[in-house]
Every structure is written in C-alpha cells, then in structure tokens.
Structure 1
Amino acid sequence: MTTEPESFPRRQARTQRFTLGAPRSFTIAPDGSRVVFLRSASGTDRANKLWVHDLTDGGERSGTGVPPAEGPGRVAADPEALLGGALEELSAEERARRERSREGGVGIVGYATDSAVELASFSLSGRLFVAELRAGTARELNVPGPVIDPRPSPDGRYVAYVARGALRVVGAEGAGDTVLAEEAAENVTYGLAEFVAAEEMGRSRGFWWSPDSDRLLVSRVDDTPVKRWWISDPAHPERAPQQVAYPAAGTDNADVRLFAVDLRGHRTEVVWDRARYPYLAHVHWSAAGVPLILVQARDQRSQLFLAVDPDSGATRMVHADEDPHWLELFGGVPAWTPSGQLVRIADEGGARVLAVGERPLTGPQLHVRAVLDVADEDVLVAASAGEGAEDPEIGQVHVYRVNELGVERVSQEPGVHSAVRAGRVTVLISAVPDEPGAKVRVLRDGKPVAAIASWAEHPGLSPRVTLTQGGARHVPCAVLMPTDYHGDTPLPVLMDPYGGPHGQRVVAAHNPHLTSQWFADQGFAVVVADGRGTPGRSPAWEKAVDGDFVVSLHDQVDALHDLAKTFPLDLDRVAVRGWSYGGWLAALAVLRRPDVFHAGIAGAPVTDWRLYDTHYTERYLGDPGTTPAAYDRSSLITGDGLSSPAEPHRPLMIVHGLADDNVVAAHTLRLSSALLAAGRPHEVLPLSGVTHMTPQEQVAENLLLLQVDFLKRSLGLA
C-alpha cells in the first residue's frame, strides 16, 4: 500500500514553516569552550531541548581551517525526561509571553545562563529547573510557581524568577527561596514586561542582575490605568470571557517604574521624569559600567540615555535624541564599551549609523540594524547596504566588525546573516537564497572550527525568485513565477505583501519565499513589494509613512505597474493577500483601488487604528485626540474608510482568529458591519480559538487551500 505524499501546506504547518529541528538561541561560554543552544529532535518535533556543543581545535589543529563534520552536540536538558513524559501546562502569563514573542514551540523555549555559561535556568510547566552545562545534568528547584523567566545571577549562586507577580530569588542549590518584591495590589507585578514593551519595544524582560550579583534592577508595572477588554470564544459559550488590559491608541498606558532591589529586599526607586518620558524602552547593566536605561517620550520624538546610581536611584543624562518623526528602538543598544563609552544607533545625516561616544563610526554606505556584541577592539553589528552604497544588495543583511579604523565584513556570501559573539568565538547564522533553512558555523578568530547541525525538514520546493526593483522610487521587489512556467503568456498576479513597519519581506534567503512560491505554483505570478515604511533601506524610507499609512498602497500600485513592463503580468487579474498590517493593506487595496485590484484576502487586519496599541500606533499616526485626520486617512471604516470609490465592488475575504489579543476580532467584525451597511459583498472566515499566530496545523494548512480556492473563484480561473 502506497501513501500519498504530504502536500506543501500540510508539511509547512506540521514543521512550523520548516523551523522545527533548527538550532536557535545561542550562548557562547566566555572561555570559548562551548556553545549552548536550543533545538528539537527532528523537523516535526515541537519540543526543544537544551544542547551543548563542546568546541575543540577542529580544523585549527589540522591546519586546514575546514570545520569538522556537523556534530549533534550533547543534551544538557531534556523536557520529556524532566517532566516524566507529562504534557506541559502553561499559566495564562506564560501563554501571553509566548504570544508576544510569537513562540510556537514547546519544551524549553527560552533559557538564561550565568556569566561563565556554567549554569542555565529555564521553566517547564511553570516549574523551575537548572542545568549544569559542563556536567550535562539538570534538576528541579522546588519553589512556588508558576515560574516565569528564571535567570541565574552572574556568579551562578542564585536564580531570580517571577511567580504570581512577585520577584523571588532562590539559591542555585534550591535553598533560601525569598520574596524580593511584591505587592498585594491585584494589578501590580514585579519583574515582568508590560504589554507594549513586549509587543512593540522588543523588551521581553522585567529584571536585570547586577554584574556583582548583589542586587537587581526590577520593573514595577501597575496596569490599573489600562482599559479592560474582553475576549470571548463564541464556540464555547459556557466559558467566561478573558479579561485583558489593552492600551489602545490615545488611552492610558500601564504605570511603569524601576527599582534597585538588593538580596534582602531593600528597594530604591530609580528616578527620572516619568511624566515626560513614560516609556522604559531598554535596560543595560554590564561589568563595563553603571546601569544604563533608555526612556522615551510618549510621542517617541525624544528620548534620554540615563546612567543610574543604584545606591541612591539618581540618574544623570548621558545623551539625548530628538527626531521630528520618531525615534526607532534597536537591538543591542544602548550599551557601554569596556572603556565606558556609550554605544548607540542613530539617524544622522540621512543615514542610520553606529555611534560610539559622540562619534559616528559608519556612514551612508551602511544601514545599521542592530548591535550584536561590544568588545574592546570593535563593535559587531548587523547592517544592510545604505543608500550611499554602490551596490544596493537587495534583501541582504550582513555582519560587520566596526571600529575607529574602519569596517570589515564578516559574512561574505549573499544572504541574510546574523551572529552571536563572545571573546574569540563567533556563531554565524546564515540564510542564503539557494539553500533551505540556515547554516550555523562556529568561528574562532574568524576561522571555521565547527558547524552546528540543523534537523529541519527540507521544504520539497525551491523558490523561483527574482529580486529586483520597481517603480520610480525603486521599491525592492521579489517576483516569483511557477516552477513549470517557461513561456511569456501573462499570468494572473498575486501581490503578497506585508508592506509596513518592521516587516521586511524582500530578503535574499530561501525559506521566507516558500509560501509565495507555493501560490505561484497554483498558477500565479507572485509579487512581494517592500514599499515605503518597511525597514532596511534608509531612515527617510521608513519615516515616509508618518501620519499616513496609505502611502504603502501607492507603492504597491507603482511597483506592480512598473514590473508589468518586464514580467508577464496580467493586469486584468490582480489579487492581493496579507496578514496583520498586510491584511489591512490587502483590504485597503480592494476598497480604495478596485481599478487595480480585483480580489483580496485580509488576514487579521487592523481595520481601525484607534483599536490598536499605543506605542505602535501613536508612533506613526500620533494621538487620535489631536490628529484624528491621520487615523481617518488610514482607516478602513471611519473617515476615508469606505467613502470612495463605491464601484466596482471587488471580492474580499476577511480571516480572523477570535482569540487574537493583539489585533482583536472587533477589527474584522466592525469592518464586516460597515461593508454590509454599504452594500459591499464580502466573506468572513472566523477562526475559533486562534490567536494572531495560527499554530494549529489543520488551521494553517486549510487556510492556504481556502485562499487559493477563493482567489481562483474571484478571478475566474479554472
């Protein structure tokens, strides 16, 4: 008996977009002896284990410089063994943390180590575990739970963690569990990031150990001022709705404070002008200097870098930034150099540069995206080609070493690269256009000494993608044709954008284009366009959406029409699909430009930006109380929403998870009501129990199949 091969949608769903089995979350021991990481046992196993790859001289000893064969490493912690085969049980707080980080795995999904990378801590089913990384043993510490975000002290003697809104600390051997900070107030927590910090600022943490392991900086969050929303599951009317604190644009945020707390529980509040700078964006505390925090004004047009005196709580300004549009937040900064200079990323002279002290070390040739490591002799950064570069290198991101003497590129082959570094050892992660997944190589002094194996499944297809530019503004584009297409007969077009802030889709890598290629193989020419507002090009490009998201639609249209001069695109049959911001863009396209777009699929669309969160929405559109016109321009419902044009009506499918606590289902329900009142035909596909992610295999698979069916029906394709 033969079995039918699994379809691509089923395999993609089962493998979580072919990410299962791939190594991730790397930590390097400062002595260069080992690399710690997470990986599941196969390309279909969701449960991550904690692994250690012990480094030897490898190719260095042989003198060849060639890395040895990929080794599996050794398991330092196996969740199945630690839980005795029992299934994980997650608290509501842990589920929310995973939703904010878009974490779809199970098992050990995060860990932290001491400074020597000898001890790791993590939680499973709300229980606290530690692993001795050198010995390869793991054990549970008996503490109150459910445990969230356990982190060892730098000296490895203690583990701090959060349980039921309180910050606690326990000895690494399990003795002396103590409450360091808690309040009886129902809405007050210590050591956790508030919603907008985790969802929009890239700050998932709420406490930070001192280098001397004698105290911590701890955030206190009071979300009493935040409005309460209710998310229900209509498929289960017997269940009570879930109450969530959601800070919608123009409404109150949580009250966030910061305290220095010693191991006896003595607290000292860190003082700054919280009325003017309410957002605690980043905290940095390393052996290189005093604690450093970055605080932002609510309009995000000004921010302060402040040094903290943990004894008194006083702060002093190290640097201040202002921008007429907004100030972006970046990974890895602010930080200190070992000599005590401030490291930051700034928009200066029309470029995004790395600055150390007050001196920019890069220019318009590079668009710096993140700081990866700070050392005595250099700073390691991730960057793409800036607008001053001779070669635009469409969709590429590289790793560079930067110091006062110049810039050296570490990654060489075209692709999207990142890195983790400690001392002489660098882990280089490389996704390239011609190979699936990502390669992980370990370098010592720039020479390969090891490779860490990936057990991710092969997708079974390879994107037939052309990276190019379209329109007068040279919009970065990816064009994908059917695998078996070799003619010049015009094909129906599927625009497949995200198209907005923090969402680059046109990348020089293999796996990000797999879904688009599958749609292409259903008979479409697929176009992905990264218009103004998307990252990776220049500050001006990103900030062109200030006050008006609709410019995203203009660039989609311009790119489409320009590409039709070169590629066989049938402009009489053009559809568009997208999720989240891309879902908003897809709906906007068929409602505002039915002369161009003939069908649309809007997944989890933000239909009225007044219903989205403060930190994201106000950055681009301002306060809805003072800039209502900006919200009306970008709305699918109010103001300019359905005002024009009325004809022709184009088919629109709206898809939304009813458990979504990021873009709540009210967005789709209000749009559907407005469309019905306007006499516009549309389809709504509600997904019971589904959040902003779609991790359920059957849902993820069938969503793709239903979309293809809708597109073919709507465009009159056989």
Structure 2
Amino acid sequence: MNKLKIKLSLLVILMTGSMTLLSAQTKEISLEDIWSGEFSQERMQNLQSLKDGESYIVQDYDRSTQNMKIEVFSYKTGEKTANLLTSNSIPGLSTFQTFSLSKDETKALLGTKVEPIFRRSTKGIYYVYDLKTKTLTQIDDVKIQSPAFSPNGKKVGYVKGNNIFYKNLETNTTVKVTTDGEKNKIINGVTDWVYEEEFAFVRAFEWNPGGTKIAYLKFDESKVPEFSMDLYGIYGQDLYPTQEVFKYPKAGEDNAEVSLHLYDLDSNTNSKINLEVPEYLPRLKWTEDENLFSVQSLNRHQNELKLYLVNAETKAASLVLTEKDDAYVDVTDDLTFLNNNSFFWTSEKDGWKHIYHYAEDGSLINQVTSGAWEVTNFYGFDNKSGRIYFQSTEQGSVNRDVYSVLANGRNKLRLTQKTGTHRADFSADYTYFVNTFTNTTTPAVYTLHKAKKGELVREIKDNSALLNKLDNYTISPKELSTINVNGYELNTWMIKPPNFDPEKTYPLLMFQYSGPGSQSVSNTFFSTNDYWYQMLAQQGYIVACVDGRGTGFKGRDFKKITQEQLGKYELEDQISSAKLFGERDYINADRIGIWGWSYGGFMSTNAIFQANDVFKAAIAVAPVTSWRFYDTVYTERYMTTPQENPSGYDDNSPITHVDEFDKGNYLLVHGSGDDNVHVQNSMQLIEALVQANKQFDWRIYPDKNHGIYGGNTRLHLYTLMTNFIKENL
C-alpha cells in the first residue's frame, strides 16, 4: 500500500472514530431505556445496624444463582467481615424475599412466596432460621401475615385467617390467641384496608418487652359497605371473570369499629381495654416498661389526637396528652419513650413541625426545636450523649440536612454540609451514621460519618457508573427556582431542551401532584419520570413542576389552607403558574399541557375542564373525580364528611365541570383493578362526558392496580402518553 493510501485510510479511521464518539455523546433517551432499568441506581439494600454498633448488614441478591445474601460490614474499616446468611447454604430453602432479625440477632425470620395483598400488606410462607444451630423451622403450613419475633426471640406472633397466633420456638407448639376472625367481618392483629392505606401500617399487634403480653387491635367491619372489583384474568386461561370483594368505607359511610385488647400469654386470657369510644386508633406502642404501653386515638374529624398510657396489670388507660388543630392533626411514628417513660413527640402547634419533650404524666418539659422550618425525620435519642438526631428543612424547604441537639434544645449541630438531600442511618450506639446524599446533579452517594460532629470517615458507594453512562446522553439540567403566585413564593423546577435557544418558543408540559403535605419539587436526583421528561425535552418540550398551596414542608398554614376545599386553591395556583410561564418569551402560551397521577389526575382533569383557555391538553392517570368516591380517613381529614360539606365536595369535582370542557384534548387512564382510587371514578366521569357529548381519549388497563404496572404495562402507558403529547401539544 502506498503512502497516500495509508494516509487516506488513517483519515477515514480518525473521522469514523470522531463520528462514533460524537454519536455516543449525543445519544437520546428512549422509553425502552427507561423501563428496562437502564438508569437504575446502585443502593445499599435493607441497610441495618447490628446491635454491637460496630457492624452493619446489607442485602444482596445474585440473579444468576438466585442466591440471597445478608452481608456484614465493619463500620470502622469498611471491609466485609462475614456473610450473616446465604440462601443457598440453608438446606430446604432455595431463596427468600424478606428477612428480619430477632432482637438478640440469633435468629432470622425469612419470607418466601411472598405476594402482595394491598399497597403495604403481604402474605407468604415464613421460616425461622437459627443462626447458631443452622436449623430451619417453618412457622405455618399456609401463607401468613405480619410475623414478628417476641423481644426475647423465643416466640413468633403472626396473623392467619384474621386471627392472631404465636408459635413457641422452644416447644414447637402453636397457640391461637383469637378465635373470632372472619373475612369481611372481624380482623384481629392486622389493619383493615383504610388503616393500611391512610395510617400506613399493617401489623396491629405489639409484643411487650418481656414477651409475655400482646396488645392488639380488633376491627369489626360488619357495618362497612363492601366494594367489588371484577378481575378479568388471562386470555386462554380464564373463561369467566372473578370478583374481589372487600370492605371499603367511602367518605361519610360507616368505618370499622375498632377496639383495643390485651392478651396475657401466661394465663391465656384476653382483656378489652376500655377507652372513650374512639373513631380511630392509628398507633400502638409499648414503652420500655413491660407493663405500660401507649395507644393514640383520633376523632372522626381527625382534629383531636389523644395519647393514652395503658397499665397492663390494671388494664386502666390514662389520658396524658391531647393535640388539637383547627384543621387536622397528622399521625406520625415519631413518638419515642425514654427509660423513665418521658417521651419525645412532634407537633405543628407553633406553626411548624417540631420536637417536644413531655414527662410521663403529659406535662411539657420543653420544646426541643423551633424556627421557621420543619423536622422531617426523627432518627432517635442517644442515652449516653443525651442528643436527639433528626432531619430537617432548616437549609430550605427543598433540601434536607441531618442535625443533632441536646434534649434541652441546646447545642444544635448540623452534621451534613453539601446543599441537597441528606438521609441518615445510625449505628445502634449512635457512634456512626451512613449518609445518603443526592441533589439534582448527583445520584445517591453513600458516606460514613461519625455522629458526634458529622466528621466524614470515608465514601462507601457512589453512582459514578450511572453518571458515566449518562455522559453518553444529551441531558438537560433540572433547574430549581421559585415563582411568585397568588401572593406566595412557590417552589418549582424546569427542564429545558438540551439545545435550548431563548430566542425560540417551546411547548410546555406541567407535571404536578398537589396533594396535601406532598412535595414534588425537591433537591434530589432524577426519578424514573425525570428520564421521561428528559426524553420529552430532547424532542423539543419544556417540562415544569410547581408545588402550590396545600403541599408540604413550608409550615402548617401553607399546608392546611386547602381545608374543606380540596382542589380549589391548588387549581388556582397551577392556572396562575401556567399563565406566568406563558408570559416568558421562550414559552408558547398556546401550547401548555398538564398531567398528573391520582391526586394529580384529579387536578389535571379540573385544569382542562375549568381552564381550557390556558391548557391545551391534559392527561389524568387514575384520578379521583369526586371525593365522594374516596375513603373516609383521607377524605374526611381534609374535607369533613359529604353530609357536612356538600359544596366542598361538589364544587371542586371534575364531574361538576364537564359542561365547561369546550376545547382542548383530554386523555383519561385507569386500571380496572385499582383497589385505592376505584375505576368507578373514571367510569362515572366517562358517562358524564358521553352524555355531554364531549370528545376525549381514554384507556383502561385490565386488572391493573393504582400503580398500573406489570410486564410491558408501564412501557405501553408511557408510549400512549408520549404519543398523545406529540399529537396534541
């Protein structure tokens, strides 16, 4: 080959390499990328501190071998020191899906064949694995719910057939604690549907510290109306539909009658604890005293929360604290008892969520934290140092930082420094904490710190591999800012096209959720939806989000302004924000769309019906279309009952405003198996639109629940929504 040919060949190679590099750096995101898990982050799965305070465990699953491992790491060195257990080394057990340790860490509770019931509840086959003797014991022959070790690890309580049982691991015998459990009638030891969904817990029984007593809730659902869902099954397998029937109390209807009970293992006796007739008992917790436990009681309007201490010997309940609010009182998991039975409690009574310290009799010792910011997580109390560890918004409502403070409120220390979102997992003795940090440009970074002053020890894990992968894509920054709307400074984010030119105009898609106390604008890295927004930005759309009035972390009054008028002020803020965005030179005011899911679908539907002069298109996924269709606990917390507040329910219902839908494009999506926001919501709206002769698009996903997922479902749904946006916005 002559020199000229060699030079030409080298030039072709160099040009080809340069074009390949340029192509790699401008790769565009696809829906297949998003829903195949291409952009998944590395995480520390099921991170837990061991009781020695020197080690922590994480869960790791090897898909190729189907081996589940629980690995032990040293806080001090960062080195892996052992495998606590591996599924392929346990005879008679191929793998497990869930695990929990006994308090003394000598036994593990392993869940297999675990299947979901509703959002938080599951049932499965469970085993106890003795880490010392290497023996495996199956708890029951059938699937059970909510198994829990007694504190001494000698027994396991669980629920089967709506009754409570416990298995004595020393004698290998099983005792039936309750006998009256019956589906759709009586539930013992686990919550009903509405408690699970709205009070966010399932297991409704608690062992005392000595493992000799069980406090539990009983739900009498006899008067609660039933809801039924048809399940259509799989073509070729199911000739006839089946029906799921469960108790679901809609706003204004009867709730389950809930009662508090105490079971004594030594005498095998049950006792009912007498309280003032409660509407709700949303929390149950033992103190450090084996004969003293707490229960929280709420009235139906949820604006008066009472804390009782119950003496397990006398069965007497003493009212120690009453929390009142003109709107509602939030139920939290922050209640923390000290050895002397004094306790920490969080409250919004000064206008912001803060920590308070009370004596056993309910007298206030002191307010621990204060200021125009909110405590967002109560991590715990260290008896040795006398310090409380917590997370807060002190550095801004979109940020989170970790702090410590003495119980008397003095010497508060900020333990994290970078601007963004920090979350802490503390060692059992509060010597260390693993910090998870993220912001709009940083996926999760895990670092180890000393708890005393927040000193960095080392980095444990980052997501540099994900960032390197994203370097090959055209990614636009997620810009955080604020917008002044209706007299308030609202948090917002915006994603612009990667080749954004301020001299051009672009269509705008607004996302919002808007529900009470929620937050969609935060200084965190991309969620799955953010990658979809990046894809839309690559195709020439601007995407924005505004957290309007009623959302959280900006004080009590900002959050609770929407009381009795869900949808009114939230809609005003989205409309006003859209108009202000439309005044910007680079946004086409005639091409503004809005979308949302659940509460966000309720909002986007109202937007296209009531403000189609502002919004050209809207997508609503699984929307509430009338709060009359939704459950008692959530709806009445913000709206009282339909009987008391009919105009609040009807004035803001999309069904009421169907006739105003004069122009614009609307896509309605729902899963037919949605146990939460029933497809009835969409069906009633569809009928109203049909009778009003309003044209729109809709899609029902058979047997899919509120999350609308499974197999290719999410890919199909987001393809549908993408095509709708491209055709109509």
Q: What's the TM-score, normalizing by structure 1? A: 0.86
Matching residue within 585, 607, 615 for 2:603:
585
Which residue of structure 2 aligns with residue 55 of structure 1? 74
8 A Cα contact 1:217 1:258, kept in partner: yes
**Structure 1 residue 373, shift from structure 2 partner:** 1.3
Task: Quote the Cα distance in structure 2 between the aligned partners of 1:470 and 1:82.
Answer: 61
SS at match of 2:32: helix
Aligned counterparts of 2:643 and 2:67: Cα–Cα separation in 1: 46
- 2:180 aligns with 183
Q: State the 1:527 CA deviation.
A: 0.7
Q: Distance in 2 between matches of 1:253 and 1:152?
A: 31
Per mean C-alpha deviation after superposition, the further-off stretch among 359-368 and 530-539 is 359-368
Contact 1:431 1:439 in 2 (8 A): no
Match of 2:12 in 1: none
Contact 2:90 2:134 in 1 (8 A): no
Residue 230 in structure 1 maps to residue 228 in structure 2: yes
1:663 aligns with 2:677: yes
CA deviation after TM superposition for structure 1 residue 660, in Å: 0.6
Q: 1:136 deviation in Å?
A: 11
* Residue 215 of structure 1 pairs with residue 213 of structure 2: yes
C-alpha distance in 2 between matches for 1:663 and 1:197: 15
Residue aligned with 2:657, SS: coil
Matched, 1:642 2:658: yes
Structure 2 residue 32 is the aligned partner of structure 1 residue 10: yes
Contact 1:414–1:433 at 8 Å: present in 2 too?
no
- 2:553 corresponding residue in structure 1: 536
Partner of 2:120: none
RMSD between aligned residues: 3.0
Deviation at 1:199, TM superposition (A): 0.6
1:250-261 correspondence to structure 2 within 5 Å: 250-261=252-263
SS at match of 2:153: coil
Instruction: Report the equivalent of 1:97.
Output: none
**Counterpart check, 1:494 vs 2:524:** no
Give the direction of change, closer, same or farther, for the CA distance of 1:699–1:642 in structure 2 (3 Å limit). Answer: same
Q: Which has the higher contact order (CA 8 A, sep 6+)?
A: 1
Q: Which amino acid aligns with 1:10?
A: E
Return the offset for 1:596.
0.7
Classify the secondary structure of the residue corresponding to 1:414.
coil
What are the equivalent positions in structure 2 for 1:354-369 lying under 5 Å apart?
354-357=355-358, 358=364, 359-369=366-376
1:95 corresponds in structure 2 to none
How far apart, CA to CA, are the structure 2 residues paired with 1:438 and 1:615? Answer: 37
**Distance across 2 between alignment mates of 1:537 and 1:554:** 18
Contact 2:565 2:648 in 1 (8 A): yes
Q: Which residue of 2 aligns with 1:559?
A: 577
Are the aligned partners of 1:547 and 1:630 in contact in 2 as well (CA < 8 Å)?
A: yes
Q: Does 1:484 align with 2:499?
A: yes
Distance apart, 1:56 and its partner CA = 5.0
Contact 1:72 1:452 in 2 (8 A): no
Aligned twin of 2:389:
380
For the pair 1:121 / 2:114, whether they are aligned, the reply is no
Q: Residue 402 of structure 1 corresponds to which residue in structure 2?
A: 405
Q: Deviations over 1:609-655 (max 9, x none)?
A: 11111100001111011111110122111xx4335x353x2111011
- State the distance in 2 between where 1:454 and 1:171 align: 44
Match of 1:103 in 2: none
Distance 1:237 1:368, change over 3 A: farther
Indicate which of 313, 316, 328 corresponds to 2:315. 313
Q: Which moved more, 1:349-358 or 1:530-539?
A: 349-358
Q: 1:700 aligns with which of 687, 706, 714?
A: 714
Q: Which stretch shifts more, 577-586 or 445-454? A: 445-454
Larger radius of gyration: 2
Measured in 1, the distance between the counterparts of 2:67 and 2:556 equals: 37
1:80 and 1:658 map into 2 onto residues whose CA distance is: 42
Does the Cα contact within 8 Å between 1:494 and 1:527 map onto a contact in 2?
A: yes
Q: By how many angstroms is 1:326 displaced?
A: 0.7
Counterparts of 1:548-627 in structure 2, within 5 Å, are: 548-549=565-566, 550-564=568-582, 568-627=586-645
> Take 1:509 and 1:136, find their aligned partners in 2: how far apart are those partners?
45
Matches of 1:520 and 1:46, distance apart in 2:
40
Q: Is the 8 A contact 1:18 1:437 kept in 2?
A: no
DSSP-derived class of the 2:515 partner: coil
AA in 2 matched with 1:336: F
Equivalent AA in structure 2 for residue 381 of structure 1: F
Mapped contact 1:577–1:600 kept (Cα < 8 A):
yes
- Residue in 2 that maps onto 1:89: none
Equivalence for 2:273:
270
User: In structure 2, do the counterparts of structure 1 residues 49 and 247 end up closer, same or farther at CA, with 3 Å as the change threshold?
Assistant: farther
Name structure 2 gaps, 5 residues minimum. Answer: 1-19, 114-123, 359-363
Count of matched residue positions in the alignment of Structure 1 and Structure 2: 665
2:195, 2:390 → 1: CA distance?
A: 23
**Displacement of 1:370 after TM fit?**
2.8
5 Å matches for 1:41-190? 41=62, 49=68, 51-58=70-77, 68=78, 74=83, 76-78=85-87, 108-109=97-98, 111-125=99-113, 126-132=124-130, 139-172=136-169, 175-183=172-180, 185-186=182-183, 187-190=185-188
Q: Which string of whole-angstrom CA distances, capped at 9 and with x for unpartnered residues, describes residues 149-183 of structure 1?
A: 21111112211111222211123457122222231
Q: Does residue 1:672 correspond to 2:686, yes or no?
A: yes
Structure 1 residues 288 and 444: alpha-carbon distance in aligned structure 2, compared to 1, 3 A threshold:
farther
In 1, Cα distance between equivalents of 2:170 and 2:335: 34
State the match for 1:101 in structure 2.
none
2:601 is paired with a residue whose SS is helix
Confirm whether residue 31 of structure 1 aligns to residue 52 of structure 2. Answer: yes
Cα distance in 2 between the residues matched to 1:674 and 1:576: 21
- Distance across 1 between alignment mates of 2:587 and 2:153: 61
**1:399 counterpart letter in structure 2:** V
In the alignment, structure 1 residue 469 sits paired with structure 2 residue 474: no
Q: 1:425 maps to which residue?
A: 432
Question: Aligned-pair distance for 1:73?
Answer: 6.9
Q: Is 2:28–2:538's contact at 8 Å kept on the other side of the alignment? A: no
Q: Distance in 1 between matches of 2:669 and 2:633?
A: 25
Q: Which of residues 522, 526, 536 in structure 2 aligns to 1:511? A: 526
CA contact (8 A) 1:303 1:321 kept: yes
Would the aligned equivalents of 1:48 and 1:108 in 2 still touch at CA under 8 Å? no
Determine the structure 2 residue equivalent to 1:102: none
One-letter amino acid of the structure 2 residue matched with residue 642 of structure 1: V
Are the aligned partners of 1:50 and 1:108 in contact in 2 as well (CA < 8 Å)?
Answer: no
CA distance in 1, matches of 2:666, 2:251: 27
What is the match of residue 540 of structure 2? 523
Q: Is the 8 A contact 1:464 1:517 kept in 2?
A: no
Work out the CA distance in 2 between the residues paired with 1:154 and 1:227: 38
Change (3 A) 1:55 1:495: same
Q: Is the 8 A contact 2:583 2:589 kept in 1?
A: no
Q: Which moved more, 1:476-485 or 1:178-187?
A: 178-187
For each residue in 1:242-264, what CA deviation from the matched residue of structure 2 results, as whole angstroms up to 9, or x when unmatched? 11211111111112222121224
- Could you tell me how far apart the structure 2 residues matched to 1:80 and 1:692 are? 38
Distance 1:615 1:572, change over 3 A: same
* Structure-2 separation of matches of 1:474 and 1:46: 53
The Cα of 1:338 is off from its aligned counterpart by: 3.2
More deviation, 45-54/658-667: 45-54
Counterparts in 2 of 1:567 and 1:691: CA distance versus 1, 3 Å: farther
Aligned residue for 2:370, secondary structure, equals: coil
CA contact (8 A) 2:579 2:614 kept: no
Deviations 1:581-602 (A, max 9, x none): 0111111110010011100110
AA in 1 matched with 2:271: T
